[in-house]
Amino acid sequence: MQWPKLSDGRAPKTTTACANRDSQLNAVKREAIFRTLASANPEPRTELRYRSPFELLVAVVLSAQATDISVNKCTEKLFTIANTPAKMLGLGERKLKQHIRTIGLFNTKARNILKTCQLLLERHSGQLPENRKDLEALPGVGRKTANVILNTAFGQPTIAVDTHIFRVSNRTGLAPGKTPLEVERKLLRTTPEKYRQGAHHWLILHGRYTCKARKPTCPECVIVDYCEYRAKTTVHA
């Protein structure tokens, strides 16, 4: 921005208010976005079905490159017979693969799940650890999966940046970034504290059903007035 010159040719001094003008406006916009999403969905939650932290872990591992719907179909039967690390190990690799064979990469996922079960029994008395370091030490559990577990199972204000959150954050201007980690760090730094716990699910659901990859339904979007996406759609999908 070019500031106007004073009569003697000098640029006027910028006050703190002027210097922070853009960040203040962005903060107001971020507050409005999350307030609106919270009003539309006061209790956001994952669409994966689970009854324990362990079941959630298995479901999240299976959900990589798969839909929540397909995962729920598999786990509905699987969790009736193997809902603990010990029972999952007792099931064995061959039977576990039979239950999850419709899920992409099921061979690798089955092996990782069983290795994880073994480690949970050996190191954590069969319980899921509530810290990132121990979670990420489990086979098949990366930063994104750990963030989901910490947020959803243990109520920690983490944000797991998947393709939906990455897209929404960049399109809206909430937290532009070139990598998921960059977006995650910006979201954690700039999301108002009272919305940090729910931000993960609000943004995922918004990206899944409204701010879709190919054709976002901008006319139906509750935060369209605050969104900085230049290629907004003008007709209903």
Q: Residues with catalytic annotation?
A: 144, 162
Query: Residue 91 corresponds to which amino acid?
Result: L
How remote is the C-alpha of 221 from its chain's centroid?
Answer: 19
Burial (0-12, 13-18, 19+ Cβ within 10 Å), 1: exposed
CA terminus-to-terminus distance, the chain? 38
**Cα(6)–Cα(236) distance, integer angstroms:** 50
Q: Which amino acid is at 143?
A: R
Read off the amino acid at residue 230.
R
Report how far residue 178's alpha carbon sits from residue 50's, in angstroms, rounded to the nearest whole number.
Answer: 32
Q: What is the DSSP letter of 5?
A: P
Residue type, 114: L
List all residues 6 or more positions away from 145 whose beta carbon is below 8 Å from its beta carbon. Answer: 57, 60, 61, 64, 135, 160
- What does the block give as tokens for 202? 């609000």
